[in-house]
Amino acid sequence: MQRRGTQGDAGRRGGQTSHPTASRPPLAIERTPTGYVLRDPLLVRLAGIEAVPLPFTAQARPAVVLAHLRRLNPGREVRFETAPSPIPARGSAHIPHPSP
């Protein structure tokens, strides 16, 4: 939440004003075997929080998750990222690597 008068004060002093979310890094959504998590570099830097579980099960369609997060964060870029170390779901089919 922006403090009242902050942007106006900068304008009266001749300072530059910018959209409060213009310099924020994008929000990254990752799918896990049990659902989805949100990664925000600002939360890592400010509070040490690496990932925030989202209230979506693994069965939720990625487009639905993305649409909800974009609607709730209109001033931020929201995108899907691949997990840094994907862990296959228990009982998932083995996908062989192509032979060289």
pTM of the model: 0.58
- Confidence class for position 85, pLDDT limits 50, 70, 90: very low
Residue 92: predicted pLDDT:
43
Q: Is 78 in contact with 70 (CB distance < 8 Å)?
A: yes
Position 2: which residue type?
A: Q
Distance of CA 54 to the CA centre of its chain: 10
Dig out the tokens for 21 from the structure: 């979310």
pLDDT digit string, tens, across residues 36-57 = 999 999 999 999 999 999 999 9
Helix (H, G, I), strand (E, B) or coil at 54: strand
Which of 37, 32, 71, 41 is closest to 55 using CA atoms? 37
H/E stretch holding 35 reads: strand 35-39
Please state the domain extents for the chain: 24-80
Residue 81: predicted pLDDT:
86
Residue 100: predicted pLDDT:
54
